């Protein structure tokens, strides 16, 4: 039995490793998981190391072994990689040990190269080949071959040079690596990688309210009506259609237009006030249709190559069946009444938050998980989770693991605009994607700093960003006052900086910028009323959206976030960055100023990409080709026409 004190090799600073292995890192099927570690030992002995990996499931297969390579000898940095080909969980460990044979061979080579007598070293080598450090189960033919080589090395009648040459024969090193007992091996703790489908990393989301999808002003639409919108959304190149809650809407304290506390008899209310006499989270709002109508809606979307993402909002209207059947699942005031939701100074009298610490929480948690299972059984595989940061961490870890046990291909998006540590913790707990601070990052310095954080370890190993350019809750001042160019700029930034992005559809297409003064709230918000959108009205940017999504699908470089690199530009209003993947290299230059044309010099890091003195770049947005130099290149971008260049680089 080998004690820890006998293990001379140290394995530390492993990547990916989340909180010492407490949480799984993330990958997608088909990815190559890059593993890095600092591996070292005392003294001058040669260290050897390898990577072992396998699927982690009840029927776990045998470990696959791959050698680790030294990336930086001076810093003891080692690296390797393994491929993950299917969704599920994988695990890997690292092993390190003192390679006795390599240490001996290294010393022999140095002495022999210096012209010194190495007869004693050859005797030591022969002892190594025969010695007790061979595996007990080593094949007999291998041992016989090694015994013969040992006899040759110690035979003083043979020329010393020939014996040295035989000792340093790569074939001998290979056989010793196969049969040698490694002795006191250091083994890292197993680390887990959660592998999801590609849509968890690369997707384009389109959000719209089905009830506002009518082609007739003043008339609310049903799910059957809203199907007519799906072909246009597919044509624009989106692959995820996100629907705000489609469940029955409560009547009690129903909100009116512009969040008014008094609603008329025809006001539809907020979809987030879930639950009425018609049912709760497993039902469809009667004004939209039925479960069969939803199934048909989803079937049509899938036929067009898109998926439906449903909103998973864990709150109830006062009319929700849970309130009547399980009052213990809600917090009560001293007078016995149930507390409605508040975010001072805002009050949400139409919503009761759920008490996740209820004495009956075991039954409560199971019921809430059953909501996801219910919709997953109907084919839904993507859920946008409303305000997950206001619910217990433990609940989400339990729920996500439980859902994945039955439906491993389900994707969860966290709508959590909150503190960085909280957002990151949700990613560690299993959320596939997360909303971000992108909406509030506008300057070159802000965008560079934020994307560097998101695209580097350790954050990139557990948190995948989804850059929504707007939401029904957020119409940023930049969009309110930047005009049509602002919408173009933010679209281009969202779709190229991040592999996943989204827009709250019709308002964004139409560059809708009307907000209550001093707020980020839309005037006449769809959250409280039915809107009619004329998507063909002049000034819409549907054409640009279509072009950008096509370019994203055609270029692997835009299907990842971690591959971003920022480069110098002489103008602080111009953001210059590159993305490269599998030989696909893009230079992306965006004018951040929606009001004025900006110009400047772009510094190309040619050695980084192996570019010649001059090379061709093709603008994917304008179908033009330019000759660039591998040093500085002048660019002028007018936001009134096109605020960006998306340049495909040709190395020929």
**516-562 per-position pLDDT tens digit:** 888 999 999 999 999 999 999 999 999 999 999 999 999 999 999 99
Side-chain-side CA neighbours of residue 583 (13 Å) = 3
CA distance 524 to 255: 12
| 4-99+185-195 CATH choice from 2.40.30.10, 2.40.50.140, 2.60.40.10, 3.90.1150.10 | 2.60.40.10
134 band by pLDDT with thresholds 50, 70 and 90: low
Cα–chain-centroid distance for residue 578?
A: 19
* Rounded distance between C-alpha atoms, residue 316 and residue 330, angstroms: 10
Chain centroid offset of residue 385 CA? 16
The per-residue pLDDT for range 292-308, each reduced to its tens digit, is: 999 999 999 999 999 99
Return the SS3 of 497.
helix
Annotated domain spans of the chain: 4-99+185-195, 101-179, 204-313+359-556, 564-650
**345 alpha carbon, distance to own chain's centre:** 35
Q: Which helix (H) or strand (E) holds 648?
A: strand 644-650
Q: How confident is the model at residue 262 (pLDDT cuts 50, 70, 90)?
A: confident
Instruction: Answer whether 487's CB lies under 8 Å from 644's CB.
Output: no
pLDDT at position 120 over 70: yes
DSSP-assigned letters across all residues of 161-210:
HHHHHHHT-HHHHHHHHHHB---S-EEPPPEEEEEE-GGGTSEEEEE--G
Q: What is the pLDDT of residue 343?
A: 75
Model confidence pLDDT, tens digit, residues 224-236 = 999 999 999 999 9
Looking from the CA of 275 toward its CB, the CA atoms found within 13 Å total: 21
Class of domain 564-650: mainly beta
Please state which of the ranges 144-158, 172-186, 313-327, 395-409 shows the lowest mean pLDDT: 172-186
Identify the pLDDT of residue 164: 94
Do 25 and 18 contact (CB within 8 A), yes or no?
yes
Contact 590/643 with Cβ under 8 angstroms? Answer: yes
Q: Which residues pair with 93 in a beta bridge?
A: 52
Element housing 591 (H / E) = strand 584-591
Mean pLDDT for 259-288 is 95
Beta-carbon contacts of 517 under 8 Å, excluding residues fewer than 6 positions away, are none
Can you give 348-411 as a three-state secondary structure string?
A: ECCCEEECCCCCCHHHHHHHHHHHHHHHHHCCCCEEEEECHHHCCHHHHHHHHHHHHHHCCCCE
What's the sign of the alpha-carbon dihedral 59, 13, 567, 417?
Answer: positive
Please report the pLDDT score of residue 178 as a whole number.
81
Region of poorest pLDDT, from 134-143, 178-187, 285-294, 503-512: 134-143
Architecture of the domain whose range is 101-179: Up-down Bundle (1.20)
pLDDT of the residue at 2: 64
Q: How far apart are CA 363 and CA 652, in angstroms?
A: 64
12 is catalytic: no
In sequence order, what are the residues at sequence separation of 6 or more whose Cβ sits closer than 8 angstroms to the Cβ of residue 72? none
Closest CA to 46 of 187, 183, 190: 183
Under 8 Å between Cβ of 359 and 328? yes
pLDDT (average), residues 419-441 = 97
* pLDDT score for 442: 97
pLDDT for 347 equals: 76
pLDDT in tens, 89-103: 999 999 999 999 999
Answer yes or no: pTM beyond 0.75.
Answer: yes
pLDDT of residue 10: 96
**Planar angle of CA 534, 535, 538, nearest 5 degrees:** 90
Is 355 catalytic? The answer is no
CB neighbour class for 179 (10 Å; exposed up to 12, middle 13-18, buried from 19): middle
Dump pLDDT digits (tens) for 392-425: 999 999 999 999 999 999 999 999 999 999 999 9
> Pairing between strand 191-196 and 584-591?
unpaired
Sign of the Cα pseudo-torsion (142, 145, 149, 150, in order): positive
Equal CATH topology for 101-179 and 564-650: no
Find how far residue 582's CA is from the centre of its chain.
19
Instruction: Give me the catalytic one of 415, 512, 526, 593.
Output: 415
Contact 268, 334 (CB under 8 A): no
The rounded percent of the chain whose pLDDT value lies above 70 is: 99
CATH architecture of residue range(s) 204-313+359-556: Alpha-Beta Barrel (3.20)
- The fraction of the chain above a pLDDT of 90, given in percent, is 86
Give the β-pairing of 614-619 and 644-650.
Answer: antiparallel
Contact 585, 560 (CB under 8 A): no
The residue from 386, 461, 509, 512 that is catalytic is: 386
Tell me the average pLDDT of the chain. 94
Residue 143's pLDDT is what? 85
Is the pLDDT confidence value at 132 over 60? no
State pLDDT tens for residues 339-369: 888 777 777 889 999 999 999 999 999 999 9
Count other Cβ atoms within 10 Å, centred on residue 623.
Answer: 7
User: 3-class SS at 65?
Assistant: strand
| Per-residue pLDDT at 133 | 57
Q: Are 326 and 364 in contact (CB under 8 A)?
A: yes
């Amino acid at each position: 039995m080998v004690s820890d004190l006998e293990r001379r090799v140290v394995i530390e600073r492993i990547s990916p490793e989340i909180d010492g292995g407490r949480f799984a890192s993330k990958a997608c099927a088909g990815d190559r998981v890059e593993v890095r570690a600092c591996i070292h030992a005392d003294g001058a002995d040669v260290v050897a190391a390898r990577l072992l990996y396998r699927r982690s499931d009840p029927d776990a297969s045998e470990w696959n072994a791959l050698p680790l390579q030294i990336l930086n000898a001076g810093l003891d940095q080692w690296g390797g990689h393994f491929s993950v080909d299917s969704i599920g969980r994988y695990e890997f460990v690292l092993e390190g040990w003192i390679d006795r044979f390599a240490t001996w061979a290294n010393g022999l080579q140095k002495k022999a190269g210096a012209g010194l007598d190495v007869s004693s070293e050859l005797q030591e080598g022969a002892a190594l080949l025969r010695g007790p450090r061979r595996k007990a189960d080593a094949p007999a033919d291998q041992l016989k071959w090694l015994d013969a080589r040992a006899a040759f090395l110690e035979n003083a009648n043979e020329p010393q040079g020939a014996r040295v040459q035989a000792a340093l024969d790569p074939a001998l090193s290979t056989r010793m690596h196969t049969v040698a007992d490694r002795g006191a091996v250091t083994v890292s703790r197993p680390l887990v990688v959660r592998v999801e489908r590609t849509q968890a990393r690369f997707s384009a989301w389109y959000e719209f309210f089905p009830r506002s999808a009518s082609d007739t002003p003043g008339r609310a639409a049903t799910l059957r009506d809203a199907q007519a919108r799906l072909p246009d959304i597919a044509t624009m190149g989106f692959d995820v259609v996100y629907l705000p809650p489609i469940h029955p809407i409560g009547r009690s304290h129903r909100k009116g237009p512009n969040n008014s506390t008094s609603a008329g008899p025809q006001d539809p209310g907020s979809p987030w006030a879930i639950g009425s006499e018609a049912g709760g989270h497993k039902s469809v709002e009667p004004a939209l249709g039925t479960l069969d109508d939803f199934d048909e809606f989803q079937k049509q979307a899938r036929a067009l190559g898109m998926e439906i993402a449903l909103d998973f909002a864990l709150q109830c209207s006062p009319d929700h069946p849970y309130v009547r059947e399980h009052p213990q699942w809600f917090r009560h005031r001293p007078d016995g009444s149930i507390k409605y939701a508040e975010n001072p100074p805002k009050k949400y009298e139409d919503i009761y938050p759920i008490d996740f610490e209820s004495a009956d929480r075991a039954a409560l948690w199971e019921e809430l998980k059953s909501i996801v299972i219910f919709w997953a059984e109907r084919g839904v595989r993507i859920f946008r989770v409303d305000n997950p940061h206001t619910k217990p961490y433990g609940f989400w870890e339990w729920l996500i693991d439980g859902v994945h046990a039955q439906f491993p291909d389900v994707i969860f998006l966290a709508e959590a605009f909150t503190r960085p540590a909280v957002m990151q913790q949700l990613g560690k707990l299993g959320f596939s994607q997360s909303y971000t601070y992108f909406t509030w990052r506008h300057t070159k310095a802000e965008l560079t700093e934020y994307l560097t954080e998101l695209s580097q370890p350790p954050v990139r190993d557990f948190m995948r960003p989804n850059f929504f350019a707007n939401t029904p809750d957020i119409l940023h001042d930049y969009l309110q006052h930047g005009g049509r160019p602002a919408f173009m700029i933010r679209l281009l930034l969202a779709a190229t900086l991040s592999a996943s992005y989204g827009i709250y559809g019709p308002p964004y297409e139409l560059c809708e910028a009307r907000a209550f003064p001093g707020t980020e709230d839309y005037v006449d918000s769809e959250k409280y009323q039915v809107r009619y959108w004329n998507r063909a009205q002049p000034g819409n940017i549907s054409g640009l959206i279509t072009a950008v999504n096509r370019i994203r699908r055609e270029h692997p470089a835009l299907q990842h976030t971690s591959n971003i690199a920022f480069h110098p530009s002489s103008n602080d209003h111009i953001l210059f960055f590159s993305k490269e993947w599998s030989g696909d290299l893009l230079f992306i230059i965006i004018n951040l100023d929606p009001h004025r044309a900006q110009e400047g010099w772009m510094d190309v890091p040619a050695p980084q990409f192996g570019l010649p003195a001059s090379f061709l770049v093709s603008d994917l947005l304008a179908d033009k080709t330019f000759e660039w130099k591998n040093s500085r290149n002048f660019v002028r971008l007018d936001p009134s026409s096109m605020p960006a260049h998306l340049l495909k680089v040709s190395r020929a």
